[in-house]
Structure 1
Amino acid sequence: MQLQQVIIAHKAGNPLSQRWAQTCAKQLERRDCKVLLGPSGAKDNPYPVFLASATQPIDLAIVLGGDGTALSAARNLAEEGIPILAINVGGHLGFLTEPFELFRETEGVWDRLRDDRFAVLRRMMLQAALYESNRRDLPAVSDRYLALNEMCVKPAAPDRMITSNLEVEVDGEMVDCYHGDGLLVSTPTGSTCYNASANGPIMHMGLEAISVAPICPLSLSSRPIIIPPRSVVSIWPLEDPDLHTKLWMDGVLATSIWPGQRVDVRMADCQAKFIVLRENYSYYQTLREKLRWAGALAQYSDYPQNGTLN
């Protein structure tokens, strides 16, 4: 990999992340690399400025933070095909990030990147847009929104909890009318996040599939389903005269939905590319460690089939 122009985004409001970002910038600049540096957070999106001010192709995005910082990078950089090296600096769970221990010797990391000693993990994404009426030949009336984890349709109001009524079609065929807190349309990557909290299925990240899961449905017969990746999920908010229903992408507000509009969610035509530094990367190890499976803190080497469990 060439390191001629690099993005460094750090978690906004986190001093540790910012210090490491500045250290990385100085090291890369000494290697004749042009660096675009800035904070990323709920009120800070540096990527449009980064992309507009780049004087040459961007080789890499270094993202220092947690999963939320990595999700923002994926939404903004996937269309450009820019690989992301996400490091857990100041984050919490860290499903999408590389452990900080692999990043302490940063000069060695730059050598590994230069010598192509890493793997690239491609992750499926979703795209969504709003449409008027039930005609399928009309163009979208909104921007296209991208998400790595999930698209969510649910109401939001400052003064009360609102129950939503959402009619759902898959490829033009009626599936169900969900009455509850909302609806999640998730990728395999997002299946371990909000989707899992809503009792949706966990899908291996190597799959291409879409999960549709109701959030706290009032009917016990409303169940999550997994559908093929090329399916189009159409969601119609019903009975919403006060315009409370909104579309959320990875937990970030995308847009409000007007009466008569539908949301179409489908697999995006781009993928997020994450750099993996771990030589022994295992998806199941990630599940065990992050979700505290198999006895919470038990190590794989402690399992009975690999020895004696004390």
Structure 2
Amino acid sequence: MNDNVTFGILGNFNKPEFYEILNDLCSFLKISKINFLILKNNNLDINKVSNKEYIEDLTEVLKQTDIIISIGGDGTIISSVRKFLVYQKPVLGLHIGGLGFLAECNKLNYKKKIAEIVKGNYFIEKRMLLNVKSKENDVNLNIINELVIERRDSARTIKTNIYISGEYANCYESDGVIFSTPTGSTAYSLSAGGPIVRPDMELIILTPICPHTLSMRPLIINDTDKIDINFNEDPNREVSLTVDGQIQKNIQCRSRVVVKKSKFYANYIKFAEDDYFKTLRDKMSWKGNLRV
């Protein structure tokens, strides 16, 4: 039993159903005598919040809460993980929106899931992250799903040299390359032909985007390896670095980029009854043997 747990609540304020779920969630927590705070945000429409007295700034939410409830889709959950990453707050995703691989509950079952957390019937799954650095461009970012390095302002392919722990691996002539965490294996990397891996594994996935040569296939790289990247291009040509589809930096091809395992982990709330492969079957619409 964990009667003293305090939840911090945030989410995608732009989704039409956000405030309905937020107010229903807060009412449930109040009636259940469960402590909570709502994270103050410039985009939060206070007039639509029923429990305004629970709105606090980030400092207070960090100080007083144990678990973060993130209301929204995968992008919202990724943003929430990033916001609280340094503080290692575990995140419970409450899904509203489209496909959604990261959320552990939805508007139909979240009350049951929260009750299980209060009883102590949950665990925290730690998932590895990546880190990308480019000293020339003052880039130092943690990667929850994937880093995409791709061409910019040109239809021409880019030639990306990859060195793994000091050993030359390959030059990918392609529209770009994706470096994915296990969590991100079902996102952009999968669309580009990358493999699906369990999110609790520790490895790095390198997936070329539309490679010029079809024999250039994805690579699975040890999580202890450091990946050095440079470009066989005009030094003044620019490429784009995009992290999790949310943070984008343009760098010149004379730059050097380093990708490696991050020192931080993402912490997700999980439950004993969770079945990763059932989730995969449902989300991917796998039908099994259609001849049966």
Partner residue in 2 for 1:63: 70
2:8–2:61 Cα contact (<8 Å) kept:
no
When normalised by structure 2's length, the TM-score is: 0.84
Candidates 86, 95, 116, aligned match of 2:101: 95
1:103–1:109 Cα contact (<8 Å) kept:
yes
Give, as a single letter, the amino acid of the residue that structure 2 aligns with 1:280.
E
SS in 1 for 2:150: strand
Deviation at 1:240, TM superposition (A): 4.6
SS in 2 for 1:290: helix
Q: Specify whether residues 281 and 5 from structure 1 end up closer, same or farther in structure 2 by C-alpha distance, changes over 3 A only.
A: closer
**Residues in 1 aligned to 2:139 and 2:6: alpha-carbon distance in whole angstroms:** 29
Q: Specify whether residues 75 and 161 from structure 1 end up closer, same or farther in structure 2 by C-alpha distance, changes over 3 A only.
A: farther
Matched length: 278
Deviation at 1:87, TM superposition (A): 1.4
Partner residue in 1 for 2:151: 155
SS in 2 for 1:260: coil
User: Does 2:275 match 1:282?
Assistant: yes
SS in 2 for 1:284: helix
2:159–2:171 Cα contact (<8 Å) kept:
yes
1:82-113 deviations in Å (ceiling 9; x for gaps): 01010112x21111112415535x3x544322
Q: Specify whether residues 28 and 40 from structure 1 end up closer, same or farther in structure 2 by C-alpha distance, changes over 3 A only.
A: farther
Q: Which runs of 5+ in 2 are unaligned?
A: 44-55
Partner residue in 1 for 2:49: none
**Residues in 2 aligned to 1:253 and 1:93: alpha-carbon distance in whole angstroms:** 21
**Residues in 2 aligned to 1:57 and 1:244: alpha-carbon distance in whole angstroms:** 44
User: Does 2:195 match 1:211?
Assistant: no
Deviation at 1:207, TM superposition (A): 1.7
User: Does 2:30 match 1:24?
Assistant: no
**Residues in 1 aligned to 2:86 and 2:189: alpha-carbon distance in whole angstroms:** 24
Q: Specify whether residues 52 and 234 from structure 1 end up closer, same or farther in structure 2 by C-alpha distance, changes over 3 A only.
A: farther
Stretch deviating more after TM superposition (121-130 or 23-32):
23-32
SS in 2 for 1:69: helix
1:121–1:274 Cα contact (<8 Å) kept:
yes
SS in 2 for 1:226: strand
Give, as a single letter, the amino acid of the residue that structure 1 aligns with 2:126.
R
User: Does 2:105 match 1:77?
Assistant: no
**Residues in 1 aligned to 2:267 and 2:181: alpha-carbon distance in whole angstroms:** 15
1:10–1:38 Cα contact (<8 Å) kept:
no
SS in 1 for 2:135: strand
1:126–1:148 Cα contact (<8 Å) kept:
yes
Partner residue in 2 for 1:33: 35
SS in 1 for 2:102: coil
**Residues in 1 aligned to 2:126 and 2:19: alpha-carbon distance in whole angstroms:** 27
2:12–2:76 Cα contact (<8 Å) kept:
yes
Partner residue in 2 for 1:197: 191
**Residues in 1 aligned to 2:17 and 2:265: alpha-carbon distance in whole angstroms:** 30
Give, as a single letter, the amino acid of the residue that structure 2 aligns with 1:10.
G
Candidates 89, 112, 125, aligned match of 1:121: 125
Deviation at 1:58, TM superposition (A): 2.7
Partner residue in 2 for 1:227: 221
**Residues in 2 aligned to 1:109 and 1:286: alpha-carbon distance in whole angstroms:** 16
When normalised by structure 1's length, the TM-score is: 0.79
1:246–1:253 Cα contact (<8 Å) kept:
no
Deviation at 1:29, TM superposition (A): 5.3
Q: Specify whether residues 100 and 32 from structure 1 end up closer, same or farther in structure 2 by C-alpha distance, changes over 3 A only.
A: closer
Give, as a single letter, the amino acid of the residue that structure 2 aligns with 1:130.
S
**Residues in 1 aligned to 2:18 and 2:4: alpha-carbon distance in whole angstroms:** 21
User: Does 2:276 match 1:269?
Assistant: no
**Residues in 2 aligned to 1:290 and 1:193: alpha-carbon distance in whole angstroms:** 12
Partner residue in 1 for 2:11: 10
Candidates 123, 131, 134, aligned match of 2:135: 131
